[in-house]
Amino acid sequence: MKKEELKKKLKENIPDLQFFYKEENLSFAPQFLEELLQEEKEDFFKKEEMKEEEINFEAFHEFSYLDVYFSFLDHLDSVKSNDRVRKVIEDFEPKYIEFSNEVAYSKKYYLKLLFCLERCNLDGDQKRVIEQALKYYHNRGIHLDTEKQEKIKKINQELSKMSQDFEHNVLDDELEFEYFFTDEALLGEMPEDDIKIAHLRAKEKGKEGYFFDLSYSSYPLVLAYCVDSEIRRYFYNSKNNKASKGKYDNSEIILKTLQLRREKALLLGYNNYAEYSLSLKMAESPEKLKNMIEEIQKKVEIKAQEEIKILKEFFSLQEINTWDTGYYLKKYKKEKYGFEAKVLKKYFEFESVLSGLWKIVKKLYDIDVIPIIGEEKVNYGEDIRLYEVKKEGKLIAYFMGDYFYREGKRGGAWENDLRNKFISGKETIFPFVTNTCSFQKNKEGNTLLSLGDVETIFHEFGHALHEMSLKSPYGDLSIGSLEWDFVELPSQLMENWCREFDALKEFAYDINTGEQIPKNIIDLMEESENFGQGIMLLRQIEFTLLDLFFHMMDLPQTYTKLEENINDFLKNYSLLKKDKEFYKPYLSFRHIFAGAYSAGYYSYMWAEIIEAQVFAQFKKHGIFDTSVSSKFYNSILSEGSRKDADILLYNFLGENIDIGFYLKKYKIN
């Protein structure tokens, strides 16, 4: 197929991912990437030489075929990774980064943007696009001398390669872990549907018994239900010791990554990488941020210590191991409150949860999520869902859900825009947004979800809503350009609607009887859930402060010394016993070493502080009050990055951030 025909396929409303992902079609990927890169280079060099009278906004607003095609390949590597697509990406990415560096440090192009800002006839959104572009030029160091810029370019290349290596090491090491239970009694009171799925997975692998691994839909079940502490210990240590040895060892990768990030920050004039990272975020400074989190930590520790004390006394234990907390918390809640999380599963059938989510979104924002049946283009694997998304009857985006586990899929859950919104003249290209999860599918019946799974679906669709709702015609003003510690607000907020009784009535029905979930179960859930929050929050704070510690510290020259420093830091989080030699979760900490959260993991906590205050407005007026939801949609969801995050937030709240709502949410004194 010729280049121009392939380019047309990239612009199709529904991208033909099945076509692009076929094994035989991946063979043309290297050549197609090279052709697109050459095309973009030639276009860029022409723009660098534009005369003043040729400069207009449209010159800086063009559809990038290269970005879209590369995002398709990157998605494949995340959802169905194989050696071929890895090789394509690994071979091409250095050239891609090299060109990105060339654009990022082009003084000629920068001056053209500056000229356009000052002389072009721009509307508000166009001005914001140019201002944002100039801001990133300053942030990357356009003001630096050539020698420093060249050093940063080289660092960017190395960091990109190490991020890919880190991710693949974690995925490949995780895939090698397999555990087969032969005695069902060891699974204790695990939900029947989960036991059935584990048995089916064992059969698929030609074994008897019950198969479990370290994926997010398998590992937590073992820690919560397995009656043997030593097996729980084995799973916990395996999970927290991933990518720590042999061919998958990430030790040197994280040291080198941290060293290069620090070097880059120093070249740019910052004291450390955390300062550099926060320069484009809401949080004011690493020091103030760290102090705020440490103040919360003190309050949370009191709550966690009290919870641990209660568990010890209740079960007559001398100490509690970290790998046993989930097990004892579950037992305590059952005996103390008469509540078991597993009783919720029969009310959370997968299809009903999805249709309930669409109903809730309709009631809140007048957005319809309409299934597209029989479309083969996105069927690169089983169970891919495709939807049209309409606001007040008008198409605004296409949405794809890839919810179930498959081999080669990255762990966890995430939202991604495979293609941004693009409007120019008479041409309109709608955003194509995805949610990806790894739930275990029951292949012989209905798939039932845990409350945590339902929260994940709602959370990721909160991101998708934010991405798809952009009012501006310019995709450059979507959430990708928003302050990263604000991006989690809509997703954290959306989780509330899978806990409120008035929302649960939309979808939570007993799979066997069809009866609506009783309110007393929700009341019991709320009462019991408060217990254990201190332990949970302390773990989140541990990772949040570890991330800041990594990016604020004076780095050693060797990994051995780095590990010593990490262990000294982790002593602050020793309320529960760990096997220290196996506790190395940072070697698989994807968010900060293979994601967008380096010196930014605090964003989840920061957004939750804001979310508690925002949701208080919904609670005050009613969770489906359209005056509140419309205000949130118009002030935040549909605005993307058209304004700074603090302005967007104030436009909705009419008041400054108040941490008290967060403390009240978790009943922290």
* pLDDT exceeds cutoff 90 at 132: yes
Phi-psi region at 246: left, alpha or beta (left = phi > 0; alpha = psi -120 to 50): left
Could you tell me the pLDDT band of residue 572, with boundaries at 50, 70 and 90?
Answer: confident
Give the pLDDT confidence of 534-545 residue by residue, as tens digits: 999 999 999 999
Percent of the chain scoring above 90 in pLDDT: 96
Query: Where, residue-wise, is CATH 1.20.1050.40 in the chain?
Result: 3-104+106-140
Burial of 474 (0-12, 13-18, 19+ CB in 10 A): buried
DSSP 80: S
Residue with tokens 């939570």: 508
CATH of 346-531+605-665, one of 1.10.300.10, 3.90.1150.10, 1.10.10.10, 1.10.1370.40: 1.10.1370.40
Burial of 553 (0-12, 13-18, 19+ CB in 10 A): middle
Give the pLDDT confidence of 64-105 residue by residue, as tens digits: 999 999 999 999 999 999 999 999 999 999 999 999 999 999
Query: Where, residue-wise, is CATH 1.10.1370.40 in the chain?
Result: 346-531+605-665
Span 626-639, mean pLDDT? 98
Token code pair at residue 161: 């390669």
Annotation: CATH topology of 3-104+106-140: Glutathione S-transferase Yfyf (Class Pi); Chain A, domain 2 (1.20.1050)
* pLDDT exceeds cutoff 90 at 108: yes
So what's the pLDDT on residue 198?
97
So what's the pLDDT on residue 157?
96
| Contact by Cβ (8 Å): 439, 405 | yes
Starting at the earlier edge strand, list the strands of the sheet with 384-391.
367-371, 384-391, 394-404, 432-439, 414-419
So what's the pLDDT on residue 462?
99
* pLDDT exceeds cutoff 90 at 575: no
Span 601-619, mean pLDDT? 97
Percent of the chain scoring above 70 in pLDDT: 100
Give the pLDDT confidence of 558-571 residue by residue, as tens digits: 999 999 999 999 98
